[in-house]
Amino acid sequence: MFKQRLVTGLLLAGVAFAAILGLPNIAFGIFVLVTFLIGADEWARLTGGHTPLIRLAYVAVVAVVAGLAWGLAEHGDVRLPILIGVIWWLAATVLLLVYSPNRPLDVIGGMRMVMRLAVLPSLVPAWLAIVWLQRYDPWLLVFLVVLAAVGDSAAYLAGKRFGRHRMAPRLSPGKTWEGLMGEMLMSLLLAIAGAWHFVADDVWLRMGFVGLCLLTVLASVVGDLFESLLKRLAGAKDSGSLLPGHGGVLDRFDSHLAVAPVFLMGWLWLRGSGL
């Protein structure tokens, strides 16, 4: 299983970096949107949409809303749809904190309906943020992908070696506070290197960039745990079986759904502050 997961991960990384660095922005946007629409289909099945008609409806709605968000970003301000994504992930954080497996679904505001509607603020702002970052600076998007991937690996290794205290036993028993500390430490080192490369020669802006990277890492944890909640409510181990060793598209990119809008919103704020 580990070998299969490693091979799949390396192939995905190669495809992702080639697309980020090699495709024009429009082609890249379509490529990522197709990937996210596969994720929308997985989301439909996880929330009870097992018929082809319901799954098609999920995919169609996400595609239409993505188009509307792109139009708004092109002719208005990209901050609005990205802000919607950031607000959603703040709400998702609260949802994760109050969730209890012992409560009926309807006690927490109709959890299943919330999960069905969450497909839009989860997928669309993330897609737009990823495409916008590739347009602005492909290497900045590469940095973000590496930040999330290296942090996740550091969390796994630190948790396996030092993990004693579970962080979210109700949702993801393998996550530990020690793993999170290892992830934050490795991310801090990457953030410092990124600040010297991407940010102007200003100590306060560089410190702001480092802080943004650490906040982004915390957002990745929220994205990961939220997908765990989605699968727990569905009684599923994985979101799909498309990617050998990883599961489905959502299993592989769950953390990026929260990472992308949080990072872009912070980046835009830093630019407005003089970056």
For residue 243, the 8-state DSSP code is B
Exposed / middle / buried, residue 83 (Cβ in 10 Å: 0-12, 13-18, 19+): middle
pLDDT value at residue 178:
82
- Residue position matching structure tokens 């599961």: 247
- Residue 243 β-bridge partners: 247
pLDDT value at residue 274:
44
pLDDT value at residue 13:
79
pTM across the whole model: 0.90
- Higher-confidence position of 38 and 165: 38
Summarize the confidence of residues 101-115 as an average pLDDT. Answer: 62
7: confidence class by pLDDT, cuts 50, 70, 90: low
pLDDT higher than threshold 80 for residue 46: yes
In the chain, the percentage of residues whose pLDDT exceeds 90 is: 45
Express each pLDDT in 210-226 by its tens digit.
999 999 999 999 998 89
Summarize the confidence of residues 114-139 as an average pLDDT. Answer: 93
Name the residue among 49, 237, 229 with its Cα closest to residue 122: 229
pLDDT value at residue 237:
78
In angstroms, what is the C-alpha Rg of the chain? 18
Direct distance between the N- and C-terminal alpha carbons of the chain, in angstroms, rounded to an integer: 44
pLDDT value at residue 229:
86
268: confidence class by pLDDT, cuts 50, 70, 90: very high
For residue 165, the 8-state DSSP code is S
- Mean predicted lDDT score pLDDT of the chain: 85
Summarize the confidence of residues 44-69 as an average pLDDT. Answer: 90
Which of 36-40, 71-75, 96-100, 212-216 is least confident? 96-100
